């Protein structure tokens, strides 16, 4: 029997990344308005609820991302949870495309952050806290408004590929 791949401190970081990829996640696009009034955003799958009372969520943002600075200073941001038909938006917001919003239907949310049309769910948040986390920062938001479409399926990411739900 072959040995299981194993990561230990100091090992190849690819092994750790592959191990983390075994956790299936949803896909989000986190958005805000920058200091010049322009929409910015990025694809993120490190997203989770934190608390129902008060209503808090978090998203982890790579410090090297082009949108990191605006997201770290924005008073309001939105987490757009993507559905299966939004795979192109996920790809667009994960690359260095110059005009990400020109390729994606969106509107201004109630609190000013861009909201992607046809998302599975959208969480409009006020910045609650921010924490340093290595090469990322953890952005904690207080949910001001949440909307969702009950009839849509989530866009999933597992082992480096987009996936769909399969029920028996």
25-83 pLDDT, tens digit per residue, is 999 999 999 999 999 999 999 999 999 999 999 999 999 999 999 999 999 999 999 99
Q: Which CATH class is domain 17-163?
A: mainly beta
Read off the pTM.
Answer: 0.92
Nearest Cα to 162, choosing from 97, 80, 83?
83
Query: Mean pLDDT across the stretch 153-168?
Result: 86
- Sequence-ordered list of residues with C-beta below 8 angstroms from that of 35, at least 6 positions apart, any chain: 70, 73
A 10 A CB-CB count for 154 gives: 19
Tell me the pLDDT band of 140, cut-offs 50, 70 and 90: very high
pLDDT at 147 over 90: yes
The tokens of 43 are what? Answer: 């694809």
């Amino acid at each position: 029997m072959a040995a299981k791949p194993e990561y230990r401190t100091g090992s190849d970081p690819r092994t750790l990344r592959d191990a983390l990829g075994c956790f299936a996640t949803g896909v989000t696009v986190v958005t805000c308005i920058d200091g010049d009034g322009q929409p910015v955003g990025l694809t993120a799958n490190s997203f989770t609820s934190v608390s129902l009372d008060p209503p808090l969520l978090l998203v982890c943002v790579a410090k090297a991302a082009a949108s990191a600075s605006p997201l770290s200073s924005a008073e309001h941001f939105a987490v757009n949870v993507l559905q299966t038909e939004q795979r192109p938006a996920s790809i667009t917001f994960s690359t260095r495309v110059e005009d990400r919003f020109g390729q994606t239907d969106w509107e201004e949310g109630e609190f000013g952050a861009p909201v992607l049309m046809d998302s599975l769910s959208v969480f409009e948040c006020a910045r609650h806290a921010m924490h340093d986390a290595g090469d990322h920062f953890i952005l904690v938001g207080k949910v001001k408004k949440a909307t969702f479409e009950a009839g849509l399926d989530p866009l999933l990411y597992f082992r480096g590929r987009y996936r769909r739900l399969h029920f028996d």
